[in-house]
C-alpha cells in the first residue's frame, strides 16, 4: 500500500490534450469573467435566432393567408 499518491493528474493522456503550463498554471484558459460573457452571448444569440425564426414564420404565414383569400 502506497502512502503518497501520484500527483501527475494527466496519467496516460496524450500530450496533445494536456494544457500547456506557464509559470503560474495553464495558459490559454478562459477566465471566469470570459466564461460568463460567453454564456450570455450564446443565450442572447439563441433568443435572437428564435425570435427571427418566429418572425419569418409569421411573415410566411401572412403571405400564404393573403394568397388564399
Any domain includes 7: no
For residues 39-56, average pLDDT? 98
Confidence of residue 63 (pLDDT cuts 50, 70, 90): very high
Q: Specify the length of the chain in residues.
A: 69
Number of domains in the chain: 1
pTM for this model (two decimals):
0.57
Domain span at residue 52? Answer: 30-68
Looking at residue 29, what is its pLDDT? Answer: 76
Backbone angles phi, psi at 65, to 5 degrees: -70, -30
**Residues near 19 by Cβ (< 8 Å), separated by ≥ 6?**
26, 27, 28, 29
Any domain includes 37: yes
Any domain includes 54: yes
In terms of pLDDT, which residue wins out, 55 or 9? 55
Amino acid at each position: 500500500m502506497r502512502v503518497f499518491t501520484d500527483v501527475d493528474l494527466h496519467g496516460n493522456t496524450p500530450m496533445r490534450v494536456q494544457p500547456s503550463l506557464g509559470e503560474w498554471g495553464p495558459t490559454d484558459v478562459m477566465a471566469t469573467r470570459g466564461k460568463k460573457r460567453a454564456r450570455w452571448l450564446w443565450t442572447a444569440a439563441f433568443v435572437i435566432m428564435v425570435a427571427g425564426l418566429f418572425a419569418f414564420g409569421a411573415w410566411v404565414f401572412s403571405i400564404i393567408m393573403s394568397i388564399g383569400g
